Amino acid sequence: MIFNKMVPELSVSNINISKKFYIDILGFKVEYEREEDNFAFISLDGAQFMLDEDVNGSWSTGMMEYPFGRGINFQFFVKDIEEIILNLSDNNIKLFKEPFVSEYRINLERQVFKQILVQDPDGYLLRFSTRVS
């Protein structure tokens, strides 16, 4: 397996609820897991994440409380944002921010993206983006 140079590891309160959200609803796949450690390594379109049900374990810098991950959002560039939007809707998961279009200047070029924001079961903020132009 090839690991990305940076792979965020999220402390989660319930690995099974998190796996259902990320795998069944968002379309991530399990690359490997250690069920005995309540740990899963997941991926989507080249992005990699680790999920670990050890909320206040030895790696914690302080007590965790909902919403986790305050001050950060994880952006994923995906092939099909419409499928993600549909799956979230079908599972009655409210978006943090409804679909919107943003234009960004990247060096001298302007690029347009359709995006959504959604919180995972522990409150981590996830941003999904698809290039429109």
pLDDT in tens, 104-115: 999 999 999 999
**Residue 120 in domain:** yes
The string of pLDDT tens digits covering residues 36-84 is 999 999 999 999 999 999 766 666 777 888 899 889 999 999 999 999 9
pLDDT beyond 70 at 26: yes
Which residue shows structure tokens 């981590």?
A: 124
Range of the domain at 30: 9-54+72-131
* pLDDT of res. 64: 82
Instruction: Tell me how far apart the alpha carbons of residues 122 and 27 are, in angstroms, rounded to a whole number.
Output: 18
CB 132 within 8 A of CB 112: yes
| Summary mean pLDDT of the chain | 93
SS3 (DSSP) at 17: helix
The count of structural domains within the chain is 1
**Residue 65 in domain:** no
**Mean pLDDT calculated for residue range 26-44:** 96
**Residue 1 in domain:** no
**Residue 86 in domain:** yes
**Mean pLDDT calculated for residue range 7-33:** 96
CB 55 within 8 A of CB 11: yes
Instruction: Tell me how far apart the alpha carbons of residues 116 and 95 are, in angstroms, rounded to a whole number.
Output: 7
Please report, for the domain that includes residue 90, its CATH number.
Answer: 3.10.180.10
* pLDDT of res. 61: 73
**Residue 4 in domain:** no
* pLDDT of res. 65: 87
Amino acid at 27: G
